[in-house]
Amino acid sequence: MSDHGIPTTHVGNLPRPAELIDVGYHLIEGEEYDAEAYRALVREATAQVVRRQAAAGITIRNDGEFGHTVGVPTDYGAWWHYAFRRLAGFGGWSDLASLPSAPPKQGVRLSSFARRRDTERFPDVYATVVAAEGSGMKSSKDEVAGGFGIPVVTAELRYTGHEEIGRDVANLKAALEASGAASGFMCAIGPGSLSRIGNAHYESDEEFVWACAEAMREEYKAITGAGLIVQIDEPSFAENWDQFNPAPTLDEYEAFTMIRIEALNHALRDIPRELVRFHCCWGSWHGPHTTDMEMKNLVGMLLRIDAGSYSFEAANARHEHEWEAWEGVKLPDGVKLAPGVVTHSTNIVEHPELVAQRIERFARVVGPENVIASTDCGMGGRLHPDIAWAKLDALGEGARLASGRPLTRA
């Protein structure tokens, strides 16, 4: 525990001003826009969102991912889509549904969203989800309507976003200093999730994943080199399980996933472990999630990732019971858990007492000094902004309640 009690944070994506989403459309369409005015807008929006986090009692704050502006109808897709603007090596765009099951030179291909096992189990439900939310990000306002806009790699993948990440870092550091925060974090996509795009260049799935890791290492270094925590956004770590159809064996899934873990660890080489947070989830869309992999089958792999803290869903109806998976687990020295204690999966705002109880569960299992109270997933785009901020207020108040109680490991 910090001097101020249980630390609090969130997964990263926060409700963004409509002006930022509008500019994102201009960016993705290649339309004219006032670049300097846009940068000033991001700078001021970052300052405001950091102040709002402080007011909610969030102690480890970020920029809301406001630098990840993209042309999407809402803001929940920014965690992934932003990276496409910061990489070179693409040779065009494709709708995910139209990508061949085995593109040239790619040895492994996950199924499309429409062929996930949960989707096939509840086709009518998911038809409604896709119609209401969209199944993912669009490459423009009109193109690939209702589907994913996916770039296809046709040449060596290279990171070219140094200027953009430099501005994001400067904006956040200035906002953190003004708010009196001692710690802050920024989100960056992990190689496993990034590699779920089209590959027509690399000879194998493994080679492609490692190329994604090496490219994104530039962003990881830029963030941590500034003294900020980098959160590796890697929902594919758990979510890929449902995207194999038919289901693989646990051994097959571990072998597939370890390729991604080893590539990520290589990308994180020489970066202090305490400056790395790893986020996994089962996908933030509002679906049944009945075919999610159980946490007990993920813990062993999770602990093999060179991170100082692990962020995961622990508050929604499908996974709240899985705090028990951590009983008897010995965390590496200095490593902390950042479980979700409020969730994006319901409009009901959690009572602070419930939040405190969820925190206490983990404190009893791994020790209060090893717990950071967080959210299940990004709050931007999946909830009305007023509800998202009410949940963060409940998170801050629940942490204050828990911090005033005698928390000890069971």
What mean pLDDT do residues 392-408 have? Answer: 95
Residue 2 lies in a domain: no
Is residue 49 scored above 50 in pLDDT? yes
Among 25-39, 49-63, 197-211, the range scoring the smallest mean pLDDT is 25-39
Measure the CA–CA gap between 316 and 338, rounded to whole angstroms. 15
How many domains is the chain partitioned into structurally?
1
Residue 70 in any domain: the answer is: yes
Q: Are 68 and 23 in contact (CB under 8 A)?
A: no
Whether 10 is in a domain gets the answer no
99 contacts 161 by C-beta, under 8 angstroms? no
The number of angstroms, rounded, from the C-alpha of 70 to the middle of its chain's C-alpha atoms is: 16
- Judged against a pLDDT cut of 50, whether residue 43 lies above it is answered with yes
DSSP symbols for 71-138? S-SSSTTHHHHGGGGGEEEEEEEEEGGGS-SS-TT-S--PPPGGG-HHHHHSHHHHHHHHHHH-SS--
Burial of 160-186, coded b for 16+ CB within 10 Å and e otherwise, reads: ebeebbebbbebbbebbeebebeebbb
Tally DSSP H helices, then E strands, for the chain.
13, 10
pLDDT for 128 equals: 82
CATH code: domain of residue 26: 3.20.20.210
Residues 110 and 254: their CA atoms lie apart, in Å, by 15
Does residue 72 lie in a domain region?
yes
Quick one: residue 30, left, alpha or beta (phi over 0 = left, psi -120 to 50 = alpha)?
A: left
Residue 47 belongs to a domain = yes
Q: Are 275 and 214 in contact (CB under 8 A)?
A: no
Domain span at residue 261?
18-403
- What are 157-207's pLDDT values in tens digits? 999 999 999 999 999 999 999 999 978 999 999 999 999 888 889 988 899
pLDDT score at 288: 95
Report yes or no on 9 lying in a domain.
no
Is residue 13 assigned to a domain? no
Mean pLDDT of 63-78: 70
Is pLDDT at 35 greater than 90 in this prediction? Answer: no
Query: Minimal CA–CA distance to 147: which of 124, 113, 118, 123?
Result: 113
User: What CA–CA distance (Å, rounded) separates 205 from 257?
Assistant: 12
**Domain assignment of residue 55, yes or no:** yes
